[in-house]
Amino acid sequence: MTDAAELRRRTREFLAAHPPAATGRDAFLKARFDAGLAWVHYPEGLGGLGAPRTLQAVVDAELEAAGAPDNDPRRIGIGLGMAAPTILGFGTEEQKRRFLRPLWAGEEVWCQLFSEPGAGSDLAALGTRAVREGDTWVVTGQKVWTSSAHLARWAILIARTDPDVPKHRGITYFVCDMSDPGVEVRPLRQITGEAEFNEVFLTGVRIPDAHRIGEVGDGWRVAQTTLMNERVSIGGARLPREGGMIEPLARTWRERPELRTHDLHQRLLTLWVEAEVARLTGERLRQQLVAGQPGPEGSGMKLGFARLNQAISGLEVELLGQEGLLYDDWTMRRPEGVDFFGRGAGYRYLRAKGNSIEGGTSEVLLNIVAERVLGLPPEPRTDKDVAWKDLAR
């Protein structure tokens, strides 16, 4: 079994054969994948060595100390955090070998075509249709709140393939080529002024059956893997102590003593402690992932992430007073990744408002925690056994 010492030896041998200063970035990343040092817990040949997930930190520390390039996770986060674990769990061997290497190396950006304007928080009520024609599926519908669609080559997509069964049972999961005819991406300008999100229109898009992930009609089960990993990747990202949203607030407090008041000090201490508790809880959650797929605990992490970010960014603006209200970059930009913590206080305050919507609304996540973590009685659902076509819309 691969242990920390063995991984450290492998990593140092890899660095000796591929010195970062003398190896091009793309070549280095592809070689790292092929050496099994991309995701050490993935199978051999797919970027890993079948080692415990916790040992990834050993590899990362060696590579960072050597000045090795990373794969720009901010830009390809959807592929890394959502598409990859889903393809690994449900994809065919051919799909795994086609998609995982260029995904990890950052050659191909991914996006997520799940949410729809007509479905709201009830994702299973989606109406995008996929009709089979031989070995091809013809997809028509509209998706919304799609991060990075303007950059993406591929998308993970769920569509309705059987309207005659209840909503959760008639969904199938696909990989959609964003460069195909019939795919139209339109920017959605946000409160920050930029257009990180998009709406995507699908008009007769032809997807080969070879790009179906999982069985026909089993897309909801496949999508649960995506959603649970999404919530972990948003709410449970690895941060250093005093990292994330609390870092700029604590730095301002130390550097600007003229802004301090007793009341703000007490509130800052409370939020600092909560941020540290959230960080340590995230570490514990990642340790639990070693045993298998993420569970509903990720929903609790994502809930806390949204609440805490909004409270911290609000206190930062309050601490800065009039200065905190300044936001001087309303440029219509098309960013290359999701940025929760960067730029100024005004940006952080505005951007944090989306934390309680993206990756599952806080209201939906509260239900998940109540039912699947606390074991409380589920809410009545009168539409569970009704065919999708008969639902009121």
The rounded Cα 197 to chain-centroid distance in angstroms is: 14
> What distance in Å separates the CA atoms of residue 291 and residue 288, rounded to the nearest whole number?
6
CA distance 82 to 112: 8
Tokens 């930062």 locate to 316
Residue 177's beta-bridge partner residues?
A: 154
> 3-class DSSP state for residue 57?
helix
Say if residues 303 and 235 touch (Cβ distance below 8 Å): yes
Residue 28 CA: distances (Å) to CA of 11, 18, 78, 104: 13, 7, 22, 12
d(CA 91, CA 85): 9
Nearest of 178, 230, 185 to residue 334 by alpha carbon: 185
Q: Around 178, how many Cα atoms within 13 Å sit in the side-chain half-sphere? A: 23
The DSSP annotation for 234-274 comes to HHS----TT-TTHHHHHHHHHH-GGG--HHHHHHHHHHHHH
Between the alpha carbon of residue 10 and those of residues 3, 4, 56, 134, 256, the distances in Å are 11, 10, 12, 47, 47
Q: For this structure, is 6 an active site residue?
A: no
Residues 184, 201 contacting (CB under 8 angstroms): yes
CA distance 85 to 209: 20
Binning the chain into helix, strand and coil, the percentages to the nearest 5 are: 50, 15, 40
> What is the C-alpha separation between 84 and 164, in angstroms, rounded?
31
Of the candidates 62, 116, 199, 230, the residue annotated as catalytic is 230
Contact criterion met (CB below 8 Å) for 113 and 143 = yes
Structure tokens at 221: 């089960």
Q: Hey, which residues are catalytic here? A: 230
